[in-house]
Amino acid sequence: ADTEGLLLEIADAVISCKKDAVLAAVEKAKKVMEPAEIIDKGLSAGMNQVGILFERGKLFLPHVMMAADAMTAGVKVLEAELPAGTESKKLGVIVNGTVEGDVHDIGKSIVSTMLQSSGFEVYDLGRDVPTRNFVEKAKAVNADIIGISALMTTTLQGQRDVIELLKEEGLRGKVKVMVGGAPATQSWADKIGADCYAENASEAVAKAKEML
Ligand code: HCB
């Protein structure tokens, strides 16, 4: 099958909120592609398009929620295909979450799943996570890395707050920080002193491995 065509079919099904069509196309795609590629280049690509249309006022919040639902159904199917991270090949410990005041968790959850299936021990704190919880959890599980997601310009500051609290607690030298989410960029990461910025889940896995 034509992989480009299948990825487009998946993205289109997400944009039009057709869960059944998403599932059917994912079934076809998983025979010829890696789950990570289908998530990044099919499902996420569709959701990004939904974001652009929403920003332009071409579609409204209920549509975004339905598209997110269709996308999540596709991700669930693919998660089952990802290799289960095993204790024996534990690469490192990561605490991952979405900053306080921010309920966007689709991308953050994909990142957690991909990290886990790549062999990391992942503690996903969920969404709307108070700054202190990131730091306390990292301490409790002796984390190597904290991943911080923020999807809004109004909550992006939360990433800097976590870094500042790590410094106050004397942990900054011990724990690496990865930031992600639509408004985050490499230059933002540099500005707040994060160790890396990851644009998508595949990059998050690659950069997390580099930081160990
Ligand atoms: Co939402 N929303 N939203 N939203 N939403 C955004 C983020 C806007 C940009 C849309 C817009 O208006 N232009 C906007 C923020 C504007 C700003 O920056 N100030 C916005 C707004 C305003 C809001 C509300 C305030 C709307 C309202 O109620 N009036 C409200 C938020 C309330 C709150 O948080 N307090 C809201 C609600 C929602 C939902 C519930 C309808 C839904 C979220 C469902 C959920 O997450 N459970 C939603 C969605 C889906 C979006 C958009 C359309 C898509 C986000 C998404 O899931 N993308 C988004 C538009 C956009 O992002 N441009 C829009 C797909 C995933 C796969 O990509 O970028 O999240 P991702 O994650 C990637 C990547 O960033 C990276 O890897 C991931 C996987 O590839 N990454 C990490 C992410 N986290 C990482 C962590 C790491 O450690 C490493 C890498």
Q: Which residue ranges form the domains of the chain, and what is each CATH number? A: 3-79 (1.10.1240.10), 87-211 (3.40.50.280)
Q: Is 196 helix (H, G, I), strand (E, B) or coil?
A: strand
The pLDDT assigned to 88 comes to 53
**Cβ 178 vs Cβ 204: under 8 Å:** yes
Write out the H or E segment, with its range, that includes residue 109: helix 106-117
* pLDDT of 89: 61
**Nearest protein Cα to ligand 1, atom 67:** 107
Q: What is the pLDDT of residues 148-188, one digit of tens each?
A: 999 999 999 999 999 999 999 999 999 999 999 999 999 99
ipTM of the complex: 0.98
Ligand 1 pocket: which of 104, 113, 123 to mutate (most atoms within 8 A of CB): 104
pLDDT beyond 80 at 86: no
Check if the beta carbon of residue 102 is closer than 8 Å to that of residue 52. Answer: no
pLDDT exceeds cutoff 90 at 117: no
pLDDT at 1 over 90: no
* Predicted model pTM: 0.91
Nearest-CA residue for atom 39 of ligand 1: 65
